């Protein structure tokens, strides 16, 4: 009886010691986690207003990217401070992020916002990663990275298509600086050089809804194809007018990534529409499929193209910040040196950041068939 009591007491004591050890181990791990250096990033996104769908998906993707990075990092933790760029001075918000929140880098979405704050990169020696397609913004500072496909790359795919097809073109474009620059600097020179006939050339405004006269004039030009450049709901009005005048399927429709902004889905685009897009949209690798599954599970909806760019960008930026500020014990120059002239294998395929901080990704022409984007070569076009 005494032996039994002794064994029971011993078991209780041993159990207590094991639990105490496990508790101490857990406390040490938590303490170690707390002691990890923290790097703060500011994210300036259109979280409300007409571009809120873009901004909200970018926010969700950035949250996911940071969670994934922090889960795999033993050296550093990254925190993000989100700010809404809609209806506010981007410059004032950026200064608040720098002076009050003490961020080490700023991520900004859209070309107008990026252009309004880029001068702070040199003034403050602050790393900035822009989710915009302005092809030259990264040239303004060694601390700036454009981690989004450029309008130049999109224009190259489009001009190559028309050079091969030799079709007579009508151009309908959004009267916005990024689009007009794409036309003036890349597309029109390529059309002239390759003797592509542009029979119709007309801008439209943001919010414009009545395209009857515009499409009438375009139809009278006898163009074979219409190149639509722009983004947002206004594109819906253009497509509806093309359908009303029974031009869908008769006149070929070509566009860039902006066409996918219609509900962020190809499903409402008519069959036969041709789009110049990152290869990621058409052919997804294993990392891309895992990202989309995790995004859907986390947020109950699928990620759009903006979300993919944001996730990809923050993965690249986080790696650069961790190396430059922690492992390299350096500064913005160290981060810049680490990020540039590097090839990254991410969810969007093999991307390369050149020596000026510009990201390039594989681009491809796709064609809409039954709500899906297929490689154009599937249709026998090369």
Q: What is the pLDDT of residues 206-261, one digit of tens each?
A: 889 999 999 999 999 989 999 999 987 889 899 999 999 999 989 999 999 888 87
Whether residue 254 sits in one domain with residue 179: yes
In a domain, 156, yes or no: yes
Identify which has the larger pLDDT, 252 or 327: 252
Q: Are residues 126 and 73 in the same domain?
A: yes
Least confident of 7-11, 27-31, 257-261, 316-320: 27-31
Q: What is the pLDDT of residue 333?
A: 85
For position 100, which CATH number holds?
3.40.50.2300
- Segment (H or E) for 158: helix 151-165
Any residues with CB less than 8 A from the CB of 269 and at least 6 apart, and which? 239, 259, 260, 262, 275, 368
Domain check: are 164 and 298 in the same one? no
Q: And the tokens for 101? A: 């929140």
How many C-beta atoms lie closer than 10 Å to residue 60's C-beta?
Answer: 18
* Rounded Cα–Cα distance for residues 288 and 369 (Å): 22
Tokens linked to 367: 């064609």
State how far Cα 111 lies from the chain centre: 12
pLDDT score at 92: 96
The residue length of the chain stands at 382
Select from 203, 340, 368, 194 the least CA-distant residue to 277: 368
For 348, what's the count of Cα atoms within 13 Å in the CB-facing half-sphere? 30
**Which residues have a Cβ under 8 Å from the Cβ of 354 and sit 6 or more positions away?**
340, 341, 360
Does some domain include residue 293?
yes
**CA dist list (Å): 76 to 97, 112, 206, 310, 319:** 20, 32, 43, 20, 10
Q: Is residue 141 in some structural domain?
A: yes
Lowest mean pLDDT among 2-6, 150-154, 202-206, 291-295: 2-6
Residue 294 lies in a domain: yes
Asked if residue 370 and residue 319 are part of one domain, the reply reads no
State whether 143 and 288 are in the same domain. yes
Inter-residue contact 127 to 297 (CB < 8 Å)? no
Q: What's the CA gap between 146 and 359, in Å, rounded?
A: 6
Query: Please, where are the H alpha helices in the chain?
Result: 2-35, 52-72, 90-99, 111-117, 119-124, 151-165, 177-182, 188-193, 212-220, 234-244, 279-282, 286-299, 305-321, 332-339
pLDDT tens digits, residue range 148-169? 999 999 999 999 999 888 889 9
Count CB-CB contacts under 10 A for residue 291.
26
**Which residue bears the tokens 């989309």?**
292
Kindly state whether residue 370 falls inside one of the protein's structural domains: yes
- pLDDT tens across 13-65, in order? 656 565 555 555 555 445 544 577 899 999 999 999 988 989 999 999 999 99
DSSP 3-state of 358: strand
Residues 318 and 173 in one domain: no
CB-based contact 303:62 (threshold 8 Å)? no
Distance of CA 174 to the CA centre of its chain: 20
Same domain, yes or no: 249 and 373: yes
Tell which wins on pLDDT, 145 or 33: 145
Residue 274: pLDDT band by 50, 70, 90 thresholds? very high
**54/70 same-domain check:** yes
Q: Residues 288, 145: one domain? A: yes
Q: Could you count the other beta carbons within 10 Å of the beta carbon of residue 158?
A: 25
CA distance 217 to 374: 31
pLDDT score, position 267: 52
Q: Given a cut of 80, is residue 2 above it in pLDDT? A: no
Domain housing 167: 152-281+365-379
Note the pLDDT of residue 231.
84
Residue 121 resides in a domain: yes
Identify whether residues 165 and 233 lie together within a single domain. Answer: yes
On whether the CB atoms of residues 238 and 212 are closer than 8 A, the answer is no
Q: Would residue 352 count as lying in a domain?
A: yes
State the Cα–Cα distance between residues 49 and 52, nearest whole angstrom: 5
pLDDT exceeds 50 at position 381: no
Instruction: Give 18 or 121, the one with higher predicted confidence.
Output: 121
Number of structural domains found in the chain: 2
Say if residue 50 is in the same domain as residue 106: yes
User: In whole angstroms, what is the distance from residue 148 CA to residue 302 CA?
Assistant: 20
**Mean pLDDT across 351-366:** 94
**Residue 170 near residue 221 (C-beta atoms within 8 A):** yes
What is the separation of C-alpha 352 from the centre of its chain, rounded to a whole number of angstroms? 15
For residues 127 and 168, state if they share a domain.
no
E-state strands within 230-307? 252-255, 274-278
Inter-residue contact 104 to 321 (CB < 8 Å) = yes
Give me the residues paired with residue 346 across strands. 349
Over residues 76-87, the pLDDT tens digits come to: 999 999 999 998
Q: Is residue 1 part of a domain?
A: no
Rounded to whole angstroms, the Cα distance separating 69 from 258 reads 30
């Amino acid at each position: 009886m005494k032996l039994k009591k002794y064994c029971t007491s011993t078991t209780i004591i041993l159990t207590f010691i094991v639990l105490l050890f496990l508790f101490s181990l857990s406390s040490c791990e938590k303490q170690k986690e707390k002691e990890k250096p923290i790097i703060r990033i500011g994210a300036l996104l259109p979280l409300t207003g007409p571009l809120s769908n873009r901004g909200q998906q970018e926010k969700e993707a950035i949250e996911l990217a940071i969670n994934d990075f922090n889960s795999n990092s033993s050296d550093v933790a990254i925190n993000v401070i989100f700010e809404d760029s809609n209806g506010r001075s981007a410059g004032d918000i950026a200064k608040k992020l720098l002076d009050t929140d003490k961020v080490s880098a700023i991520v900004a979405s859209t070309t107008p916002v990026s252009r309004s704050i880029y001068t702070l990169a040199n003034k403050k020696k602050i790393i900035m990663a822009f989710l915009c397609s302005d092809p030259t913004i990264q040239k303004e500072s060694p601390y700036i990275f454009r981690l989004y496909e450029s309008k130049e790359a999109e224009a190259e795919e489009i001009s190559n298509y028309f050079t091969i097809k030799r079709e007579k073109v009508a151009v309908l474009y959004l009267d916005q600086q990024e689009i007009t620059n794409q036309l003036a600097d890349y597309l029109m020179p390529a059309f002239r050089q390759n003797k592509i006939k542009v029979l119709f050339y007309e801008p439209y405004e943001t919010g414009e809804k009545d395209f009857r006269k515009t499409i009438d004039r375009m139809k009278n030009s006898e163009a074979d194809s219409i190149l639509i450049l722009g983004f947002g709901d206004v594109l819906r009005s253009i497509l509806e007018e093309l359908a009303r005048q029974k031009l869908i399927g008769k006149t070929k429709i070509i566009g860039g990534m902006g066409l996918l902004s219609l509900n962020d889905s190809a499903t409402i685009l008519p069959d036969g529409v041709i789009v110049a897009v990152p290869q990621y949209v058409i052919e997804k690798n294993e990392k891309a499929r895992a990202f989309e599954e995790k995004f859907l599970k986390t947020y109950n909806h699928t990620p759009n193209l903006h979300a993919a760019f944001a996730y990809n960008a923050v993965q690249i930026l986080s790696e650069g910040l961790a190396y430059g500020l922690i492992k390299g014990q350096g500064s913005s120059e160290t981060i810049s040196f680490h990020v540039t002239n590097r090839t990254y294998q991410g969810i969007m395929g093999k991307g390369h950041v050149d020596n000026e901080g510009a990201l390039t990704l594989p681009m491809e022409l796709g064609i809409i068939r039954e709500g899906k984007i297929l490689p154009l070569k599937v249709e026998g076009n090369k």
